[in-house]
Amino acid sequence: MNIIYSCQVSIYQFKERFDMNSDANIPARGWGIVWIGWLAFMVANLSNFAFGVILPDMRNDIGFDLEVAGWLSAIAWIGKGLLTIPIICFISKGKPKHVLFAIFLLLGSGMLLQGLATNVSMLFVGRLFVMGVAAGIVSVLVVFKIQWIPKERLGSINGIEMFTGPAGQLLGTAAFPMFLAMMAGWRSVMIAMGIFALLLAVVWLFVAKDKVDSSSKAYEKVPVLLPLKEALMYKNTWILALAWPTTSLTWIAVYTFWPTYAVESLNISIAEAGLVLGFLPVGSAIACLVSPILAQKWGYDKPLIVASGLVLPFAYYSLMLSANIPLLSIAAFIAGYAAYNFVPLAFTTLYKTDMSPRAVSMGTGFIFSFVGLGGAVGGALTGWLGTKYGLETALSLTCITPIFFAIFTMFLTETGWKAEQKNNVELEQEFS
């Protein structure tokens, strides 16, 4: 992205903040389409990140050990890692509307399977369905956003979309004990969420519609793997795909097993553990809004990205040093902030190349796949280590891995506007 385009983006962002009538630029159908996708993505995150909170009750009800719990955590992220790219490939050959309808059906079915589970196998299949398709929601939704959302509004729309992930995580941690009390158990809550996802699928059939105009030409059918090949030609795609899993490993380990550790070793209640864990997505949501502003003011992206890998090990490890709720809440907030501080900036590095829109979408899916595999390792490895050496040792060891994120991301190509400005000046001097 050159400096002129950066200035244009800044002007659009300024206009969006102060023009209260800008919503009129987005058709009602466009709003309906994105909100259905966002609600589905939010409930998927709610279901998945509630797993740590309901794990003690689930283990008592169905009966399984920590190692099985680790694999139950891992299967969701294995599904995310293996299915994200194939789902994106479907939009090259099939209608995006039908792809998302199938995703919503699988999402609802996965939650119902968990709520009705009488054995561990039903839990495995249910969690595979839910997170295996969740990442595909936002990836396929890109097609409709390009069709229905004016370009000058995409920045604010993407900001809202990014916010829905932490919002679902917050509901799945801090608020979930309240849901459990209101609905008499984890099964009832899971079944209610499954019915909600199926209702979204029905509404989607009536609301979703392709907008046939010049903008839709960007999504004419092409060879399935061509966008992926294009995305893999860029260094930043590979660096982020290798670096990101080292943070998702610890993230999922903490989300899954810290509530159990807190109840058994810190002697705090599951409600208090859920409250503390709820500060993770609060920090994440704030980071999504703040870090792009800081990067824009500073003019550089990479230092903020690298900083996350330096802060995360200390923030996560702090969760095991005290039973004091306020101190634990502060540590969780810092960990949550650092965990998402780099997210909007990292994805922006792909948009700031000369990749085609399809390649950006496929590159994003490629990274998501590796993130899912990192989460799978976090769940399975922590469960195994917890069985062998105890949860405190297992969680302490997983706190180390984000430092590798800092090492990998030091090799990213800087895409901040000051770096681009410097490159443009150097090019001008070279050709003058």
pLDDT at 23: 45
Q: Which of 33, 48, 138 is nearest to 365 (CA)?
A: 138
Count of alpha carbons within 13 Å of 240, Cβ hemisphere only?
26
pTM greater than the 0.85 cutoff: no
67-94 per-position pLDDT tens digit: 888 888 888 778 777 777 777 776 656 6
pLDDT at 428: 63
Instruction: Report whether 111 contacts 168 (CB < 8 A).
Output: no
pLDDT at 411: 94
Q: For residue 278, what are its two tokens?
A: 């709820």
Q: For residue 268, what are its two tokens?
A: 């705090």
Tokens 């040093």, residue? 321
CATH class held by domain 23-431: mainly alpha
Instruction: Report whether 377 contacts 245 (CB < 8 A).
Output: yes
Tabulate helix, strand, coil % of the chain (nearest 5).
85, 0, 15
Question: CB under 8 Å to 395, separation ≥6 — which residues?
Answer: 253, 254, 257, 258, 261, 316, 319, 320, 382, 386
Reduce the DSSP state of residue 342 to 3 states and report it.
Answer: coil
pLDDT at 84: 74
Alpha helices per DSSP H over 149-243: 154-173, 176-183, 186-207, 226-231, 235-243
Domain boundaries, the chain: 23-431
d(CA 165, CA 170): 9
Q: Which of the residues in the chain have pLDDT under 70?
A: 1-24, 90-94, 151-156, 158-159, 162, 172-174, 212-222, 224, 351, 357, 423-432
d(CA 367, CA 351): 14
Instruction: Report whether 98 contacts 411 (CB < 8 A).
Output: no
pLDDT at 430: 64
Distance of CA 263 to CAs 48, 56, 260, 268, Å? Answer: 20, 9, 5, 5
